[in-house]
Amino acid sequence: MVRPLIEALRMRPVARRPVWIMRQAGRYLPEYRELRARHSFQEAVSTPQVAAEITLQPIRRFGMDGAVIFADIMTPLEAMGVEMTFDPGPRLRPHTLAEVAALEPLDIDRVGFVTETIRRVRSGVPDETAVIGFAGAPLTLLAYLVEGGGSKDFMRLRGQLRADPAAARAALTALAAAMKSYLAMQLDAGADVVQLFDSWAGVLDRDTYRDLALPAASTTLGGLDAPRIYFAPGSGHTLDLQAAIGVEGYAVDWRVPLDEAWARLGDVAIQGNIDPAVLLADPDAIRKAVSDLLARSAGRDGHIVNLGHGIDRHTPPENVAAFVEAVRS
């Protein structure tokens, strides 16, 4: 069975450009809001029937080429003994670097609900639709663990990375081993491709990224027997360094033109990279943005159409339909 998204990641010609949207299973959909009214976020993630239904909602409505599993990058940390709540983002006790390095190894059995969700999604999507598993990159998980949640600038993290690089490396090594195991579990369950989200790598300078974040991401993704995508939004200043991770595909945000991204990354597949704000405009603006994006790809193989970040919760569903239609027409 030909799955366009997988073919594109392998740099093979495809009959039509594959398209999916990060966070496509989410709050902009009325059917999602209706379901979430009856389930908390953590309950929805940990209940395979609910998580699979949420994953399938945008596939039914728009026919995306990728079904990204409904979960959270923090999910596996709970299976390593980290206690947290979501309000709506993660809230947890700030950890030291030594505490992160000493976290319990990932207990795969405690995230077995993700395995079951993937199995349900695989059996519920069309054969040509790729199932996408994912994890948070070690640096990004470390950012949340050190800060105790989200942050505007992650000053505490940056300070600790500079104060004790050796302790930071030990913490990142532990997280990399856990996330590699987590991704392998998802592939064994039936995922076709995995994406590593390095959401906060962009706060680092080039040297710190090269010395700490990049080796941890490489370790996480290394040796996995499936197409892999790496995504570090806001990291245009390290795009050339990211090429050393050596994966099949790189997602890029809207700040870097698609053709420039190819020039800096080399002959690899690229995913992206329309500004999510475009989907808050009108259909004409959406069609123009898609046309401009495809023109920049110059007909070359290895392009997956996506936004440059997750879809905004206020996006009208009809604009998503216009986006997908513009790509396919």
Q: Say if residue 296 is exposed, middle or buried (CB neighbours under 10 Å; 0-12, 13-18, 19+).
A: middle
Q: Say if residue 322 is exposed, middle or buried (CB neighbours under 10 Å; 0-12, 13-18, 19+).
A: buried
Q: How confident is the model at residue 152, as a pLDDT? A: 85
Annotation marks residue 17 as catalytic: no
Choosing from 144, 182, 209, 250, which is the catalytic residue?
144
Q: How confident is the model at residue 84, as a pLDDT? A: 87
Residue 273, preceding peptide bond in cis (omega within 30° of 0) = yes
Tell which residue, 195, 193, 259, has the closest CA to residue 226.
193
- Three-state DSSP state, 230: strand
Q: How confident is the model at residue 24, as a pLDDT? A: 95
How many whole angstroms separate alpha carbon 295 and alpha carbon 241? 26
Location of structure tokens 């598993």: 133
4-328, which class in CATH?
alpha beta
pLDDT digits (tens, 9 = 90+) for 224-278: 999 999 999 999 999 999 999 999 999 999 999 999 999 999 999 999 999 999 9
Angle ∠(6,70,187) on CA atoms, nearest 5: 45
Annotation marks residue 120 as catalytic: no
Q: Say if residue 290 is exposed, middle or buried (CB neighbours under 10 Å; 0-12, 13-18, 19+).
A: buried
According to DSSP, residue 159 is labeled H
Q: How confident is the model at residue 1, as a pLDDT? A: 77
Query: What are the residue ranges spanned by the domains of the chain?
Result: 4-328
Segment 145-156 shows an average pLDDT of 91
pLDDT digits (tens, 9 = 90+) for 4-13: 999 999 999 9
- Kindly report which listed range (69-73, 84-88, 101-105, 313-317) carries the lowest average pLDDT score: 84-88
* Cβ-based neighbours of 67, under 8 Å, separated by 6 or more: 20, 55, 56, 58, 59, 121, 125, 129, 130, 131, 132
Annotation marks residue 144 as catalytic: yes
- Asked if residue 63 has pLDDT above 90, the reply is yes
Q: How confident is the model at residue 194, as a pLDDT? A: 98
What is the pLDDT of the chain when averaged over all its residues? 95
Q: Say if residue 88 is exposed, middle or buried (CB neighbours under 10 Å; 0-12, 13-18, 19+).
A: exposed
Annotation marks residue 36 as catalytic: yes
Segment 213-222 shows an average pLDDT of 98
Q: How confident is the model at residue 180, as a pLDDT? A: 98
Cα separation of the two ends of the chain: 23
Annotation marks residue 72 as catalytic: yes
Segment 298-310 shows an average pLDDT of 93
CB 293 within 8 A of CB 259: no
Q: What is the CA radius of gyration of the chain?
A: 19
According to DSSP, residue 305 is labeled B
- Asked if residue 89 has pLDDT above 90, the reply is no
Q: How confident is the model at residue 88, as a pLDDT? A: 75
What DSSP letter does each residue of 63-124 carry, written as one string?
Answer: --SEEE-S--TTHHHHTTT--EEESSSEEE----HHHHHTSPPP-GGGGHHHHHHHHHHHHH
- Asked if residue 149 has pLDDT above 90, the reply is no
Q: How confident is the model at residue 251, as a pLDDT? A: 98
pLDDT band at 150 (very low <50, low <70, confident <90, very high): confident
Choosing from 65, 72, 198, 253, which is the catalytic residue?
72
pLDDT digits (tens, 9 = 90+) for 195-205: 999 999 999 99
- Asked if residue 292 has pLDDT above 90, the reply is yes
Q: How confident is the model at residue 72, as a pLDDT? A: 94
Choosing from 3, 17, 23, 122, which is the catalytic residue?
23
Q: How confident is the model at residue 299, as a pLDDT? A: 78
* Cβ-based neighbours of 253, under 8 Å, separated by 6 or more: 233, 234, 235, 236, 272, 273, 308, 309
- Asked if residue 87 has pLDDT above 80, the reply is no
Which parts of 125-202 fold into alpha helices (H)? 138-147, 155-163, 165-189
Segment 40-61 shows an average pLDDT of 96
Helix axes 112-124, 48-62, angle to 10 degrees: 30
As a whole-number percent, the residues of the chain with pLDDT over 90 amount to 92
Alpha carbon separation from 101 to 151, 160, 271, 297 (Å, rounded): 21, 14, 32, 42
